[in-house]
Each structure stands twice: as structure tokens, then as C-alpha cells.
Amino acid sequence: MSPYDPSAFPPFAVTVDLVVLTVRRHALCALVVRRGEQPFQGRWALPGGFVRADEDLAGAAARELSEETGLCAHDPAVPGVDNGAHLEQLATYGDPKRDPRMRVVSVAHLVLAPDLPAPRAGGDANGARWAPVDELLAAGDQATAGLAFDHARILGDGVERARSKIEYSSLATAFCPPEFTVGELRRVYEAVWGVALDPRNFHRKVTGTPGFLVPAGGTTTRQGGRPAQLFRAGGATLLNPPMLRPEV
């Protein structure tokens, strides 16, 4: 075979799928939409859609994200904007049989977003909701009840990426509003990792890691108890030393 021969290559459909994660009520949740068409009609699926002919992959992901949630993707290359969500490429899935209709290669993206009021249904979906990832992945074991296509696997990969990435990067702040307390950040780690962390050691650790948090000046009592200092995400993206996920 002669690679890059423009006259003879099998045509593919290329889509982007989104694993949009957030933390609500102490649980890691993912955005899912109900499919309005065959196949898998009525089943939940990850949001996504075709990449347009003149569109970048990241651009397509950002467009789909905005269409489904109204979120504005925060491009790490353009700093300063943090009202949006973190978006990064996750992995690409191209099994020949993953879509029964045609050959589809899907470039999955991972989005980490602060808790949002309510998902708004995108054009093609009958509904959209935040579902705890535990539910979605547990349901995936039963053959018929799980997510459409190979989306359970994609979701699993996205969750695993998020779990490991908040260890050595400051991405956990992407789950928080612009100003947040140490306790709120700790609850993010606890929800994503599914463990309980010592508040005192956690406080020492995050406030001692240079560039992770900068004081925002105020305090809040929205979590009850003693007022807590408000922080903003610092400039550091890589944490040194990293946060360590407790052993099993």
C-alpha cells in the first residue's frame, strides 16, 4: 500500500465525544444525553457530534461543549480566562464495529467543569442530565442498561485520567468556582478519588505547595462552621510536590 495516496483511502466519519465531569453533592458526575435516534435510541450516551470539514478537533469539542452546556472551554494556551472549563484531548476510539452503521473514529475529549446549575438539552438530545459516574459505570456491567456504543469505556478512561491528573497537576481547581476554600477543594479530591482525606494534612499540603493557591482576600461561611479563607487558583499547573492518592 502506498501511504498518503490521495486517490485511494477508506473514508471515515470523525466525531468528538465529550466526557464532561463535575462534582455535585460529594459525587463525581458526568454529563450524559438521551439518544433520540437509532441505534441505542432512548439510551444515555456521552455528548458529541461530527467534526466539521474546516474545523480543528479541539474546536469541534469546544463547539459541542458550548452547544450542550453553554460552557466556554478554557484553552490552556490562552491564559487568563478561567470562567470556563478545562478541556483536553483524552483518546481516540476507532474499533471498526463500534458504530453499527458506518466506520466512525471518535476523538474523545475530557472536560472538567465546576458544578453547573442544570444541563440544557442539546439539539439532538431528548434530555441531558448529570449522573454519578459510579452509577453509569456500574450499569455498564449489565449488558443492556449501560451507556450507548463504547461510551462506558470512554467514560472509564476519562475518569481514570481525571483521577490521576489531579495528583500531579492543579486541575482539581477546574472543578471549583473561581473562588473557593481549602475545604471545597478537599471535597473535590475526596469525590474524584472516592476516599476521605485528613483535613489538617490536606490544608498543610495545599497551602504549602508553591503556586497552587493564592489568597483571594475574603472569607466565606457557605459550608457552615468557622469561616474559611477564600483562594483562587495559582499560576502553577504542575504540582511539586504532587498530591498523593492514598494507597488502597
Chain residues that interact with DNA, rule: CB under 7 A: 181-184, 186, 198-201, 203-205, 207-208, 219, 221, 223-229, 241-242, 244, 246
Beta strands 128-132 and 27-34, pairing class? antiparallel
Q: How far is CA 118 from the centre of its chain?
A: 16
Under 8 Å CB-to-CB from 200, ≥6 apart: which residues? none
Which is closer to a copy of itself, CB of 141 or CB of 247?
A: 247
To DNA, the closest distance from the beta carbon of 177 in angstroms equals 14
User: Which member of 6, 80, 224, 225 binds a copy of itself (CB under 8 A)?
Assistant: 6
Cα separations in angstroms, 232 against 134, 179, 212, 238, 247: 29, 5, 9, 16, 29
When CB distances are held under 5 to 8 angstroms depending on the partner's kind, the choice from DNA, a copy of itself, none that residue 80 binds is none
Burial class of residue 18 in the structure, from the number of CB atoms within 10 Å of its CB (0-12 exposed, 13-18 middle, 19+ buried): buried
User: Which member of 24, 27, 43, 57 binds a copy of itself (CB under 8 A)?
Assistant: 57
User: Which member of 83, 95, 177, 218 binds a copy of itself (CB under 8 A)?
Assistant: 95
Interaction of residue 143 with a copy of itself, rule CB under 8 A:
no
C-alpha atoms less than 13 angstroms from C-alpha of 199 in its C-beta half-sphere: 6
To DNA, the closest distance from the beta carbon of 9 in angstroms equals 48
To DNA, the closest distance from the beta carbon of 133 in angstroms equals 23
- The span from the CA of 246 to the CA of 197, in Å, is 8
- The span from the CA of 90 to the CA of 162, in Å, is 10
User: Which member of 18, 21, 51, 166 binds a copy of itself (CB under 8 A)?
Assistant: 51
To a copy of itself, the closest distance from the beta carbon of 148 in angstroms equals 10
To DNA, the closest distance from the beta carbon of 240 in angstroms equals 9
Measured torsion, CA atoms of residues 239, 244, 245, 248, in degrees rounded to the nearest 10: 160
**Under rule CB under 8 A, which residues in 219-248 are in contact with a copy of itself?**
240, 247
Give me the residues that bind a copy of itself (CB under 8 A), please: 1-6, 9-15, 37, 48-57, 89, 91-96, 99, 101-103, 105, 107, 123-124, 240, 247
